[in-house]
Each structure stands twice: as C-alpha cells, then as structure tokens.
Structure 1
Amino acid sequence: MNNQDLKEKVLKIISEHKKGVLSSVENNKPHSRYMTFYSENLTLFTPTKMDTEKIEEIEKNPSVSVLLGYEDKGQSDAYVEISGTATINRSQDLKEKLWEESFNQWFDGPEDPNYVFIQIQPEIVRILNVHGEPAEELVL
C-alpha cells in the first residue's frame, strides 16, 4: 500500500475513534491513561488540566504513544499506534473550537486557564490488525 492510501486508512480510524490510550513516561516507565482525542489531519489534541501529572511528565519527556481504535469488534478491529512528541497547547481558539458541554465537570468554561490541550505531533504511525495483514508503518 502506498503512503497516501495508508494515510487515508489511518485518518479514517482516527476520525472514528475519539477514545484512546495516551502513554507518557514517568520515572523511565510507561504511564498510560484513557483520554479523548480530536484530530486535525494526523495531529492529535486531547484536553486536560494544566495541573496534572501528565503535564509534568510531558514537560520532562515529550515522547508519547497513543492507541486509537480496537473498540467494538475485538480481534477484527483495526487500530493505530502513534509515536510522537507532545507539547502543551494553550490556544484560546482551539479551546473554544473543541469545547464540549461535558467539559463543564472539569473546567469553568473555555476561558479557564487550567483548561489546555496536549498536542501530539506524530512521528511514526503504525496501523495494525487489518484483516490479518501485517502491520504497516507510516513515517512522518
């Protein structure tokens, strides 16, 4: 499969799955948690509070991994594994654009200074479990 076809498959999986696993590094070991993801092309955004340990972990080591997909049908679900670099995005435009009413349980509205996004810029994207085919890798 060529890179453009692979990228389209990856984008389809990312667009269909908002819930996934974010792994950061804590004391040289993986630290994983479920998060909600939004995407623009292959760049991922996940909302969080600024005063959380994941922010501290990312500030110490910006290398992260994300798993998206593999939710409904078990072993037949394709999923993506994304390795990339995380940064903190405080853009007010982004905060307003991606604001959802469900965020009210954690934040005092889109202007809340504690409401930020972790932005993940992919470096390697692997698509796995596609009809028993071997994993394919998209290097960015």
Structure 2
Amino acid sequence: MNQSELKEQVLKVIDNHQVGTLSTVREGKPYSRFMTFFNDDLTLYTATSEKTHKVNDIKKNDDVHILLGYEGQGWGDTYLEIEAKANIGDSKEIKEKVWNEELSKWFEGPEDPRLIILELKPTAIRLMNEGEDTPQTLEL
C-alpha cells in the first residue's frame, strides 16, 4: 500500500470511529481513558474540563497515545495507533469548531470557561491489522 492509499485507509478508520482511548503519562506511568475525537486533516480534537487529570498530565508531559478503530469483533479488527503532541486550547474559535449538542451534558456552551479543547497533532500513525502488510506507518 502506498502512502496515498495508506492515508485514505487511516482517514477511513478515523471517520468511522470517533470514540477511542487517550493515554497520558502520570508520574512516569500510562493512564488511559475513553474520549470522543473530532478530526481535521489528521489533527484530532477532544473536549474536556479544565480541572481533569488529563489536563494536568499534559501540562507536565505533552506526549499522548491514541487508539482508534478496534470494534471488538475479533483478532483481525483494523485500528490505529497514534502518537501525538497535545496542546491545551481554550480559544473561542476552536471551542466553536468542536462544539456539538452532546457536550451540553457537561458544559453550558462553547463559551463555558470550564471547557478545554485538547489539540492532538500526530507525530506517528500506524495502521494495524489491515492485511499482511501491516503494521504500516503513515509518513507525516
């Protein structure tokens, strides 16, 4: 699979799987939780509260790991392993870009000061379990 085909497959997995795990580093150990992701040309965004452990973790170490795509159907499920650098964002523009009504369960709206958007810029993306030629790494 060439890089163009690989990117197409990666985007397909991202577009079809918005829920995945986000892992941060806390006191030298990994810490994972399920998150919902929004994709913008391979940069992922996820909403959280300013007072969560993950925000504190990222302030100390901006390296994160994301798993997306596994459906739990068996050994051959295609998924992505994404290494990324996290940035804590609170600009009005990014909040409005990511905002959707599902977030109203936790926040009053995109103007809610507790709302933080994590911007996750991939440094490596590996496509896993997509035939014999995987894993394959997308060149970024």
Q: How many residues align?
A: 140
Corresponding residue of 1:123 = 123
Q: How does 1:63-78 map to 2 (within 5 A)?
A: 63-71=63-71, 73-78=73-78
Tell me how far apart the structure 2 counterparts of residues 84 and 98 of structure 1 sit (CA, whole Å).
18
Aligned counterpart, 2:85: 85
Q: How far did 1:113 drift?
A: 1.0
8 Å contact kept, 2:45–2:98: no
Consecutive unaligned residues in structure 1, runs of 5 or more: none
Q: In the aligned structure 2, how far is the partner of 1:105 from the partner of 1:55?
A: 20
Deviates more, 1:120-129 or 1:101-110: 101-110
Give the match for residue 104 of structure 1: 104
Structure 2 letter corresponding to 1:80: L
User: In the alignment, residue 116 of structure 2 is paired with which amino acid?
Assistant: V
Q: Hey, what's the Cα distance between the residues in 2 that align with 1:4 and 1:90? A: 33
Query: How far off is 1:97 after superposition?
Result: 2.6
Query: C-alpha separation between the residues in 1 aligned to 2:60 and 2:94?
Result: 24
The secondary structure found in structure 2 opposite 1:32 is: strand
State the partner residue of 2:14. 14
- TM-score where L is the length of structure 1: 0.94
Q: Which residue of 1 aligns with 2:34?
A: 34
Contact 2:39-2:45 at 8 Å conserved across structures: yes
Deviation string, structure 1 residues 61-80 (Cα, Å, up to 9, x no partner): 00000000011533232100
Question: Distance in 2 between the 1:55 and 1:109 partners?
Answer: 19
Deviations 1:101-122 (A, max 9, x none): 2212211111001111111100
Identity, in percent, stands at 44
- Within 2, Cα distance between the matches of 1:97 and 1:126? 27
In structure 2, C-alpha distance between the alignment counterparts of 1:135 and 1:114, rounded to whole Å: 39
Q: Distance in 2 between matches of 1:117 and 1:71?
A: 26
Deviating beyond 6 angstroms after TM superposition, the runs of 4 or more aligned structure 1 residues are none
